[in-house]
Amino acid sequence: MAAPTTVITIVKDFTYRGIAGEEWSNTYMLTGSTPADSTAWRALFDAIVAQEKLLYPSSSRVTRGYGYDKVPAKGDHSIWQVDLRPSSTTVAGTLTRSTSAGFAGDQAAWIRWSLNRFNSHGKRIYLRKYFHDGLMLGTGGDTLWAAYKTALDAFGAFMYSGTLTGSRNICDKLGNVPIASASSTYPTTRTLKRRSKRPPA
């Protein structure tokens, strides 16, 4: 396996503790060669956003994207970026709230991808991504709303199905592709820093 040369970060924002514009993001390491140009990067970004927006309601919106040709270290600059805010083309989530109850700002659901790798204690290694602004049952308790969990499972499967633009799959920093995926049943805590800002692109 080769280390990934395509890494993309998708930035979202939502209202957190009464303040609009709080950011949260997900970074995906992907198989396949580095996109050839800005058009190819944008096509990849759009393809992921088209699936990811199914995981959150319209209270979250995609605002920016960053592309890297290696796994970025602290201080590394992206080789591609897009900001949807100046052109008013931000992409809102499309998950319908219906009878569900929304997460608190610091709550998140997770998707984990099982790798065919094990640590020194023999325990399987996972990739895990967290998603804010999710939905629980509206009748009380802390179980995820069924339609939301279905959307999480579908996205998990999509990201290693090879159907992403360029037949790409999500992978780890060594280039290993998952063998299965699963999602949480209950929300967990993923603390946000109020008014956090991403480092310069």
pLDDT tens for each residue of 34-57: 999 999 999 999 999 999 999 999
The token pair at 116 is 């065919």
Instruction: Look at residues 155, 118, 189 and name the one whose alpha carbon lies nearest to residue 28.
Output: 155
pLDDT of res. 200: 52
Mean pLDDT across 137-161: 94
Query: What is the DSSP track for 129-149?
Result: EEE-S-EE-TTSSSPBPHHHH
pLDDT of 22 above 90: yes
Domain ranges of the chain: 6-189
Residues 95 and 61: their CA atoms lie apart, in Å, by: 11
The token pair at 119 is 């640590």
User: Under a CB-based contact definition with an 8 Å cutoff, are residues 90 and 46 in contact?
Assistant: no
pLDDT of 187 above 90: yes
pLDDT of res. 197: 53
Lowest mean pLDDT among 57-61, 166-170, 190-194: 190-194
The token pair at 22 is 């709080």
| Structure-model confidence comparison of residues 12 and 194, the more confident one | 12
Instruction: Look at residues 178, 184, 150 and name the one whose alpha carbon lies nearest to residue 162.
Output: 178
Mean pLDDT across 157-186: 96
Q: pTM here?
A: 0.92
The token pair at 59 is 């209270």
- Four-point Cα dihedral 45, 69, 83, 89, nearest 10: -10
